[in-house]
A and B are shown apart, each in its own frame.
Chain A
């Protein structure tokens, strides 16, 4: 008994492990987390899949066995007790009950009043005359309470066995015996060898499949450890359409897949729609809507050259495919497209998140194999009420994205920024602007050396900026200017960049002084910031998504679970059992009417608690009143 209770506690404690350590993650994650040595050790003791590990299943098995033993030991006694009225008790044994009452004298009443009373109290009653003329009345009630014990514990056993049926013991055995092997290579399902395939006849599994819109398949994948197994299905599933509906707030409201199931045994295909919480079951296999991803969306993209003024090039890309730009030795790997992005743009401010439109995530890999990850949003977003085109970059998946914010022009396009950037990168224009500024600022036209040096400085500062942004300027100041004058130099340099840029902008776009209003100045400053940030962006191109043709894929889960029925049945038995154990009160009562006068009342219960005390008092006093 103590052993069984310890098992309960032990099982609880063991269960905790798997809730703290995320289970069934890709193995690389664990290696990063623990290092090679601990990774191998934890692998050995099954910490990445605790609930299927040998030791965990062993605990469970012990619990099942000890509960089974407990039930087999106790059930016969309980059954016998259930069927039997113990009418062979003698006076002596009644007197040994903790709860008994001896009545010295009694009235001459017919026993039927006592029996009526007991029946009214829901007792089942037997009456027996003894050889010596005594009469023994035996009564009992609530004996289903004892059966509750059996229901409860058999329920537990049935649930555990049902669970084991659906667990992977069977596969584990096959794996140990070498019949099955986990596939770890990323190859097409059709190439996976027989040892890594599960047959149609496999009695229980939980597998996943991803179908792009319009495609079909008749295999699913079971993820195991660091690899997978291929599960053959007795039918083919086609995804006709996948839909996401949204609430007005932008939160997803429903995920729906229109499926067609083709079974060679059927003359007609089955068309059905599944949603979250509404699976479809066919041939014992339930098909669930579990997630979704991109199914190979087609993208029309313009890559704008940021570092020189060579304009843009068009590419046609597809999610999950790669494109190599031979010129730059760069490979674009397209990972994901999202039509909706619900973001909360104002940090720290309580604001309703809203939809900011489509995004593409991709990696750019250089020829030495290093890659950076990017995310680009198609539409301009309002940040503090100003529109920007946003792209994010990060070096590793653990980092947050760092964002490049390019200001959108009045037409909501990137064109003006690109033109301005090209103006900045145009040496002749810069020199012209420098001249103009010099003529305006240095009034004394006779002092040509001052003039020349001013013009040179403007040219130098602008070149520094154009070639490396603000950080280049900062570096230059750090290297060349004495510490106590740095502050002043920074101010002066920035001012020159500002003025020169405004001048440049005005000239390039042929604007009058009046047209350089507050908003134009802000646009210029935002452009300068964006220009400067380009140098930290790590890519020579700005990625503009011009058009797309979305194709979605639905993530399905397929489950065959013969144990489910038993688990539910066991659960029912468990609930009925617990209920009767706790809410039915078992009572047994004996009333010995002695031929010589006097009587004995004895009451027993398998639970000695306050309720029993109260019941005992009530019943014994009532009987006393009737017969004394």
Chain B
């Protein structure tokens, strides 16, 4: 009986992997074949390396693989429904209410809000079932979010061949990216540390971003697709921006876990939350991963700047604030590793780190002017 089950799960495992890989490879080859005349050598390299990156992620993390397969399926389905006609998003029922990018993103918002509520109920009621539902809702939100972004990518080309571009080029789009990356990263830790108790905290920052998306959509009507200004027409954008957001997401998680740590250290909710040592370790791990990606992102930004502005470093406010964020976390890591500092001080510091990061991400756009051409509020 056991061996049978084992065998079954093994075959399904193999099937899943084969399906996943063939989807990734098939998609990339199709894109290469169809659009190769639109891509330069760098873009092809990026496409192929992203196949590598996603396979690696999927290989190491089964849950991610499942989400990606579903995202592929849903997006292809939506594209099928569009069949090349943009106005179908008003005509076709499933598009209008479920899969057009704006609807899908609204569903993402809804599920993130629900997940936050359920995570808190689960935490306070110490109820595992509620935790599990909250976690699934987070996955569903991610599913909708990625589908929404992919469909938006497609829609942008329907608006105009010269307008189409990857949907990570204005504040509306990158906020969605932020929600997705942060929640994915969180789900990864959830599985690795085997605790769903921290969702209640991490989902707070995600819901803050959801609030921003809603405000931006309904008050500012800034959710439309805008064509790219010349400075943004670069393949570097495709890696610089996501890398940055992995950094931002990881730093946010560190700050949220720090809140849990500080409460727990004051004996508030302590019996509901994982042990302090686990929280402490999680804060370190998120900052470490954030630091790597943020370093890479800043370097990519410099390489891009060298190409767009004629210098790898111009002390533009956004650049400079990226440096400030980076120096801050470098100092944090040194205190922890070299001086062996642990606990409350570092948790406070990680929390303040998020304030600095948020300023670098949003404040600079709002209060300072510079060369960075997107994200004016």
Q: List residues of A whose CB falls within 8 A of some B CB.
A: 1-2, 4-5, 8-9, 11-12, 15-16, 18-20, 22-23, 50-51, 163, 166, 206, 247-249, 251-255, 275-279, 286, 288, 290, 350, 557-559, 561, 564, 567-568, 571, 574-575, 578-579, 582, 607, 609-611
Contact = CB atoms under 8 A, between A and B. Distances in A.
19 contacts: A5-B334, A12-B328, A15-B320, A19-B321, A19-B364, A19-B368, A20-B368, A51-B315, A206-B310, A247-B227, A253-B230, A255-B230, A276-B308, A288-B308, A288-B309, A288-B310, A557-B309, A571-B302, A578-B295
Interface stretch (B10-18, B109-117, B171-179, B284-292): B284-292
A310 B308 CA distance: 53
Cβ-closest 3 pairs across A and B: A276-B230, A288-B310, A19-B317
Contacts of B327: 8-9, 11-12, 15
Contact of A609 (B233, B284, B317, B321): B284
A8 B307 contact: no
Contact of A582 (B231, B277, B288, B312): B288
Interface string B135-147: 0000000000000
Contacts of B234: 277
B55 to A, nearest CB: 19
A582 B230 contact: no
Contacts of B334: 1, 4-5, 8
A454 B46 CA distance: 85
Contacts of B124: none
B295 A575 contact: yes
Given A276-B231, A582-B291, A610-B277, A5 B310 contact: no
A558 B226 CA distance: 31
A275 B309 contact: no
A12 B299 contact: no
Interface in B267-321: 277-278, 281, 284, 288-289, 291-292, 295-296, 299, 302-303, 306-313, 315, 317, 320-321
A51 B320 CA distance: 10
B87 interface: no
A571 B331 contact: no
B292 A247 contact: no
A567 B300 CA distance: 12
Contact of B291 (A50, A275, A276, A578): A578
B330 interface: yes
Nearest to B288: A582
Contacts of B368: 19-20
A5 B303 CA distance: 27
A559 B310 contact: yes
B50 interface: no
B57 interface: no
Contact of B323 (A12, A286, A571): A12
Contacts of A23: 315
Contact of B312 (A288, A567, A578): A567
Contacts of B302: 567, 571
Interface string B224-263: 0011011101100000000000000000000000000000
Given A5-B331, A206-B311, A278-B307, 19 more contacts: A9-B327, A19-B317, A20-B368, A22-B369, A163-B313, A166-B311, A248-B160, A251-B227, A252-B230, A276-B231, A277-B308, A288-B308, A557-B309, A561-B306, A567-B302, A571-B299, A575-B292, A575-B296, A582-B288
Interface of B: 160, 162-163, 221, 226-227, 229-231, 233-234, 277-278, 281, 284, 288-289, 291-292, 295-296, 299, 302-303, 306-313, 315, 317, 320-321, 323-324, 327-328, 330-331, 334-335, 337-339, 364, 368-370
Consensus secondary structure, chain B interface: helix
Nearest to B314: A206
A4 B334 CA distance: 10
B331 A610 contact: no
B233 A277 contact: yes
A137 to B, nearest CB: 29
A579 B162 CA distance: 39
A219 B68 CA distance: 55
A51 B313 CA distance: 11
A423 B65 CA distance: 81
A564 B312 contact: yes
Contact of A575 (B163, B288, B299, B320): B299
A279 B335 contact: no
B229 A277 contact: no
Contacts of A255: 230
B260 to A, nearest CB: 16
Contacts of A249: 227
B52 to A, nearest CB: 16
A559 B311 contact: yes
Given A15-B324, A163-B313, A206-B311, A610 B278 contact: yes
B313 A290 contact: no
Given A252-B229, A574-B295, A575-B295, A8 B331 contact: yes
Nearest to A244: B230
A508 to B, nearest CB: 48
Contacts of A15: 315, 320, 323-324, 327
Contacts of B311: 166, 206, 559, 561
A2 B311 CA distance: 33
A578 B315 CA distance: 24
Given A9-B331, A20-B368, A206-B310, A277 B230 contact: yes
A571 B300 CA distance: 10
A18 B331 contact: no
Contacts of B306: 561, 564
Given A163-B313, A206-B310, A12 B278 contact: no
Q: Among A275, A290, A564, which residue has the most Cβ atoms of chain B within 10 A?
A: A564
Contacts of A2: 339
A590 to B, nearest CB: 24
Q: Among B160, B311, B312, which residue has the most Cβ atoms of chain A within 10 A?
A: B312
A247 B278 contact: no
A517 B39 CA distance: 60
B82 to A, nearest CB: 21
Contacts of B320: 15-16, 18-19
Contact of B160 (A247, A609, A611): A247
A564 B339 CA distance: 34
Nearest to A609: B281
Given A16-B324, A290-B310, A609-B284, A8 B330 contact: yes
A50 B316 CA distance: 12
A1 B339 contact: yes
Q: Among A9, A15, A19, A567, which residue has the most Cβ atoms of chain B within 10 A?
A: A19
A561 B312 CA distance: 9
B312 A12 contact: no
Contacts of A9: 327-328, 331
Nearest to A572: B299
A279 B321 contact: no
Contacts of B335: 5
Q: Among B233, B288, B315, which residue has the most Cβ atoms of chain A within 10 A?
A: B315
Contact of B230 (A18, A275, A557, A611): A275
A254 B315 CA distance: 25
Nearest to A49: B315
A290 B227 contact: no
Contacts of B312: 561, 564, 567-568
A497 B315 CA distance: 61
Contacts of B288: 582
Contacts of B227: 247, 249, 251, 253
Contact of A253 (B162, B221, B284, B303): B162
B352 to A, nearest CB: 12
A574 B327 CA distance: 14
B26 to A, nearest CB: 30
Contacts of B321: 19
Contacts of B292: 575, 578-579, 582
Contacts of A279: 307, 310
A168 B327 CA distance: 23
